[in-house]
Amino acid sequence: MDAILLQVLNGLDKGGAYALIALGLTLAFGTLGIVNFAHGALFMLGAFTAVSFNKLLTLQKVVLDTAHKTPWGDPVEIRTPYVEAMFGDFGKFMVDWSVPLSILVAIPVMLLIGVIMERGLIRHFYRRPHADQILVTFGLAIVLQEIVKHFFGANPIPQPAPHIFAGSADVGAWLGLAKGTIVYPWWRLIYFAFSAVVIAAVFAFLQLTTFGMVVRAGMRDRETVGLLGINIQRRFTIVFGLAAVVAGLAGVMYTPILPPNYHIGMEFLVLSFVVVVVGGMGSLGGAVAAGFLLGILQSFASMNEIKSLAPGIDQIIIYLVAVIILLVRPRGLMGRKGVMED
């Protein structure tokens, strides 16, 4: 029982990341009709926004202390981050909380990147075949990740979670189980909660605002909304920007879980595409549900009991599910009938 619970928990954070990325992919596909292979790169850019912000915060002032000498006879260097020097304790707090604080930076940055991408490139591909869209965004993804590699190197860069979230929560004790049966890292719980909040926010935005209403109508029937004379162009841009922000935030918060490197996006992209297909192309609910479902399935597949039954299953479970879904129910779990079924 607790083993199962633990696996469910284990799947939640990864599932959250899949769901967030798949949500953006689906938004872009459902409204703009764009198959965006550069969406993973947006996740990666989000992660590196956090990395840059952290670097910025930890830029150090070097003061030479002539009173003390190192064993080599040089003056001792005292390094303090500028922010600490300037803001004292508040500065310390900022350094400690750099990952969550990066969210504030990432929102405008990712929005800008998304808008530039849509205006500069994606827009010209609305009427081109899907194959062309795949190809051009694939090229863009390579470009983005190579630029990041140039500036940040090829190695993963670990990011610390704030101190109070270090360590693990005894989830089992909360549920009235014996102490220590289910312990789970705090930050991964936070990640799950965070993804839930972002997803809820996106859905609220789409359900409750008139803007969202138009977008949803657009997802149902693009031609008609175009005919209504609503300025669809500008809305498309904003939707794409929104998708970029969601992917970016997913990336920011994931950095303490998995140290980002330049191709982290590609890995998530392939999986997220599979998630979208399983959920149903163009179905937002499907994307979210499939994200969590596959995350959890994956963590179950990596249990030793299961692995000994079917070796290697943890590596391929997601792809396997996708293949089966595509063959028996091509529109996906929650896709609408007739939408890209063949």
Closest CA to 246 of 27, 4, 10: 27
> Which CB atom, from 35 or from 206, has the smaller least distance to another protein?
35
Q: Which residues bind another protein (CB under 8 A)?
A: 35, 121, 124, 130-132, 134-136, 138-143, 146-147, 149-150, 266, 270, 273-274, 277, 281, 311-312, 315-316, 319-320, 322-323, 326-327, 330, 340, 342
Closest CA to 37 of 21, 53, 19, 55: 21
Smallest distance from another protein to CB 53, Å: 23
Task: Yes or no: say if 288 and 23 are a contact pair by the CB < 8 Å rule.
Answer: yes
Task: Tell me the residue ranges of DSSP E strands in 42-94.
Answer: 60-69, 75-81
Q: Which residue has the tokens 């990640």?
A: 191
> Which CB atom, from 102 or from 283, has the smaller least distance to another protein?
283
Smallest distance from another protein to CB 99, Å: 28
Q: What is the DSSP string of 176-193?
A: TPPTTSSEEEHHHHHHHH
Smallest distance from another protein to CB 8, Å: 23
Task: Yes or no: say if 195 and 23 are a contact pair by the CB < 8 Å rule.
Answer: no
Smallest distance from another protein to CB 328, Å: 10
> Which CB atom, from 111 or from 147, has the smaller least distance to another protein?
147
Smallest distance from another protein to CB 140, Å: 6
Smallest distance from another protein to CB 338, Å: 11
Other residues' Cβ atoms within 10 Å of the Cβ of residue 126: 13
CA distance 51 to 155: 13
Q: Which residue has the tokens 């102490």?
A: 179
> Which CB atom, from 169 or from 322, has the smaller least distance to another protein?
322
Task: Yes or no: say if 206 and 284 are a contact pair by the CB < 8 Å rule.
Answer: yes
Q: What is the DSSP string of 89-130?
A: HHHHHHHHTHHHHHHHHHHHHHHHHHHHHHHHTGGGGTTS-H
Residue 228 sits at the vertex; the CA angle it makes with 225 and 230, to the nearest 5 degrees, is 80
Task: Tell me the residue ranges of DSSP E strands in the chain.
Answer: 60-69, 75-81, 168-170, 183-185
> Which CB atom, from 194 or from 273, has the smaller least distance to another protein?
273
Strands 183-185 and 75-81: unpaired
CA distance 45 to 51: 10
**E strand or H helix at 50:** helix 39-57
Smallest distance from another protein to CB 261, Å: 14
> Which CB atom, from 155 or from 207, has the smaller least distance to another protein?
155
Smallest distance from another protein to CB 228, Å: 23
Residue 181 CB partners (closer than 8 Å, separation 6+): 2, 172
> Which CB atom, from 5 or from 340, has the smaller least distance to another protein?
340
Smallest distance from another protein to CB 142, Å: 3
Instruction: Identify residue 221 by its one-letter amino acid code.
Output: D
> Which CB atom, from 156 or from 330, has the smaller least distance to another protein?
330
> Which CB atom, from 121 or from 258, has the smaller least distance to another protein?
121
